[in-house]
Amino acid sequence: MNQTNATKSTSDRVLIALRQIIRSIDIRSKRLVKQFGLTGPQLIILQEIARGNEITASELAKAISLSQATVTGILERLEKRTLITRRRSNSDRRRVKVSATDAGRQLLEAAPPLMQESFVEQFDRLQNWEQHMILSSLQRLVTMMDAKQIEAAPILASEPLDPPLESSNGLTV
C-alpha cells in the first residue's frame, strides 16, 4: 500500500528520514571503497597524516577522536598498501612517527571530499538557533533509540572503524 507523505504519520516520516541518512552514508562509503579501496576512516587518517610531516599514532588518535587501538589497526592497513610509512623517532626510540608516502598523497589528490566535509560546510552556514535545534533533536533521537552508551567518532561511515585483519592464509584474525 503506497502512502503519500501527507498520509504518513510523523513517526513514519522521521523513520524514513533516518533511513535515508543511513542509506546515504552507506552508499557513499561503498563508493569510496570501490573506487579508491579506502574506508572513510582510512581516508580521514591518511588526510590527517598528510597535513604534516610526521605524527605519532597517539597524536593522530587525539586529533581525529578515535581510540589508539582503532588508529593502530587502520595504520597497519595503510602501511600494507604503502600509503604510509612508520619509523622510530631518533630522539625517543619508543615513539613511532607516521608519514604519508607519495602514493598516499597521490591517492588523496584523486579522492573525493568526505561526506562530513560537505555536511560541516552546510551546517556551519545555518543560523546558530537552527544548529542547536538540529543538535537537540538528534540528541533526543539518540536517547529514544537507547544509543547513549554507544561511543562514536565524528566520522560518517557505515563500515566498522576497525574491521578484522586477514592473515596470510586468508583466515580472519
Quote the DSSP letter at residue 90.
Answer: S
Is residue 41 scored above 50 in pLDDT? yes
pLDDT at 47: 92
56: cell is: 605519532
Residue type, 156: L
pLDDT at 151: 80
Predicted structure pTM score: 0.72
Strands (E), 63-116: 84-88, 96-100
Interatomic CA distance for residues 27 and 21, integer angstroms: 10
- Classified by CATH at the fold level, domain 10-144 comes out as Arc Repressor Mutant, subunit A (1.10.10)
Average pLDDT over residues 150-173: 56
